[in-house]
Chain A
Amino acid sequence: MEDQKREVRRELEEMLVGLKINSIVAVGAEAAIVDACWGGNRVIIKYRYRKLYRTKILDNYLRSSRTQHEAKLLLRALSVGVSVPPVLFVDKNRGILVIDYVKGVILKDVVNTLESSKLERVFMSLGANVGRLHEAGMIHGDLTTSNVVLTPEERVVLIDFGLGEFSNELELQGVDVHLFLRILESTHTSLSKILYQYFIKGYESIRGGKTKLVLDKVSEIRMRGRYVASRRRNIRLDLERIKY
């Protein structure tokens, strides 16, 4: 892993002139996240580095299309008023996406320390931002409290659009909200109900009557869950119906 980090550091410094790397925040399966200073700005670099296990044509194709796709989503989100970090630089052929450094804390880490009036404002604002995103035909794809930054001015910023999509499908909007609810239940268990309510209040302020359609979809998705015992019984029933 240290070798990998050194390699990422070396490659980035070679490609981006005048880059000063502060730290390598994470090396995920898809990209390295790097905290750096570049051209007088504090920036975050999402670097989809070369994967040696993939053939070069496929690897280049995946890295460039994913980088381009993420940049497009961020720019489009920014243009419809969703709070996301501005894109500063994209080099899709090298898999480099440079965005503005957002000063603040990861929402997940501070949920338990925020007072209730602040929690309400934060989660309503988050809901409104997701509402704007869906209204404009975009899906976040990985909506968790780990992917939200809370700035000192109490602004919420959505990050990591790596699994995002351009789509108006109700199904995908439902999945977005469902995943968020599941994260609330698993990581912020005692507060999950009230936080979800705030979130939906904010979401509804943007989406109005469409909110009900999305929420119906969420309950449908939950019933469908692969691990729900009742679903297995349904399969058996279906099979029997086919048989006779």
Chain B
Amino acid sequence: MRLHRVHNKKEKMKKVVVLGIESTAHTFGVGIASSTGEILANENHTYVPKTGGIHPREAAEHHSKVAASLVKSALEKSGLKLKEIDGVAVALGPGMGPCLRVGATVARALSLASRKPLIGVNHAVAHLEIARLSTGFDDPLFIYVAGGNTMITTFSEGKYRVFGETLDIPLGNCLDTFAREVGLGHPGVPKVEKLASKGKHYHILPYTVKGQDMSYSGLLTAALRLYREGVPLEDVCLSLVENAYSMLTEVAERALAHTRKTQLVITGGVARSRLLCKKLELMATSRGVNFRPVKPEYAGDNGAMIAYTGALALASNVITPLEESAIKPLWRLDEVEIPWRTKKEK
């Protein structure tokens, strides 16, 4: 029994270095990281639509143009050669099909060329793992907010479990769409927040919390209506972010009360929002919970988080055979086994 444990311990400490590719939405990223948490490279390039939102095909075209040079510069930054890397990770989902396909194709090619294993990574899991690494929190409750996701989750019995999520559109999407409709452009969150800081009068808008879940579509419609009625844009922005962020904070507090976790983390693109972080901090402090946001460079989509998560998976002997490496645009977070955390719990 004892021998067996020592053997496991050695295995747990196995260090691998993985190159990771992110291409689920508007960012193409290449990162290189080790399973012990060293980030050796993080090279990213984001497609910015000229008008409107992200067009999946145009984003995919962007990705295929920048892919080769980003792989090259990531390798240069890390000082490693392709053959010195232990595996190639790629985000297979969830995300936009055409975008995912570019990343998957590049990753398969690199894996074949280097004869190193391929590791399919869930994009949402990667946001959570990079947040754990960057905040130093071991077992937090996560708030994962981005353009395409809004959920409250934590680890339990081998998987990340979803405690609450949006019932319709994600928070980032709500603010981005509002910004676009009123002519502020993309990405909307920082622009809406900047105007909100100049707002003077708060107007009551829909506040939809249903137990653990929240809904943002009614809020978006009502905010646009307010704007069209002639209410100053600054005031509409103020009211919109106040409701959007307070709803999320309330749901997070419910989950904290339920799970009794003592650490709270925010990850994903919207984690850069100072206003949201301030609200969460206030709530957490009142409950005696520690709060930290993920570091800004790992908040938005990035290659490093895929590389790091791929390295954790590879160190736990998780690999994806080539013939099973199809993209998974609807891959849910709570379907993924997390062996590197399960071992630790035992």
Contacts and interface: CB of A to CB of B under 8 A. Distances in A.
Given A58-B243, A227-B334, A53 B211 contact: no
Contacts of A29: 250-251, 253-254, 256-257
B204 interface: yes
Given A4-B286, A52-B282, A52-B286, A30 B330 contact: no
Contacts of B250: 29-30, 51
A58 B249 CA distance: 14
A62 interface: yes
A14 to B, nearest CB: 19
Given A58-B202, A58-B204, A61-B204, A53 B282 contact: yes
Contact of B283 (A53, A61, A142): A53
Contacts of A55: 202, 242, 246
Interface string A52-86: 11110110011000000000000000000000000
Contacts of B230: none
A15 interface: no
B204 A28 contact: no
Given A62-B207, A163-B211, A54 B254 contact: no
Contact of A1 (B202, B211, B287, B332): B287
Contacts of B183: none
A136 to B, nearest CB: 22
Main secondary structure of the interface of A (DSSP, over half): loop
Contacts of A240: none
A109 interface: no
Q: Is the interface of B mostly helix, strand, loop or mixed?
A: helix
A53 B330 contact: no
A3 interface: yes
A2 interface: yes
A235 B251 CA distance: 28
Contact of A3 (B210, B286, B330): B286
B330 A232 contact: yes
A186 to B, nearest CB: 13
Interface string A122-138: 00000000000000000
- Chain B: number of interface residues, binned into ranges: 20 to 34
B295 interface: no
A46 to B, nearest CB: 15
B279 interface: yes
A4 B207 contact: no
Contacts of A2: 288
B334 A53 contact: no
Contacts, number: 58
B249 A1 contact: no
A107 B253 CA distance: 26
A227 B286 CA distance: 34
A84 to B, nearest CB: 20
Interface string A203-242: 0000000000000000000000001000010010000000
Interface string B250-278: 11011011000000000000000000000
Interface in A1-46: 1-4, 27-30
A54 B283 CA distance: 10
A58 B242 contact: yes
Contacts of A57: 202, 204
B204 A53 contact: no
A3 B280 CA distance: 17
A54 B242 contact: yes
A61 B332 CA distance: 36
A1 B246 contact: no
A52 B281 CA distance: 10
Contacts of A61: 204
Given A28-B257, A57-B204, A142 B211 contact: yes
A53 B287 contact: no
B279 to A, nearest CB: 4
Nearest to B332: A227
A227 B165 CA distance: 13
Given A29-B256, A30-B250, A1 B242 contact: no
Interface in B197-213: 202, 204, 207, 210-211
Interface string B183-220: 00000000000000000001010010011000000000
A14 B21 CA distance: 59
Interface string A169-208: 0000000000000000000000000000000000000000
Nearest to A229: B335
A1 B288 CA distance: 5
Interface of B: 202, 204, 207, 210-211, 242-243, 246, 249-251, 253-254, 256-257, 279-280, 282-283, 286-288, 330, 332, 334
* 4 tightest A-B CB contacts, nearest first: A29-B253, A29-B254, A53-B279, A53-B282
Given A2-B288, A3-B286, A51-B250, 11 more contacts: A1-B286, A3-B288, A29-B251, A52-B282, A53-B280, A53-B283, A58-B204, A58-B207, A58-B243, A163-B210, A227-B332
14 contacts: A3-B288, A27-B287, A28-B254, A30-B254, A51-B246, A52-B283, A53-B249, A53-B280, A53-B282, A54-B246, A57-B202, A141-B211, A232-B330, A235-B330
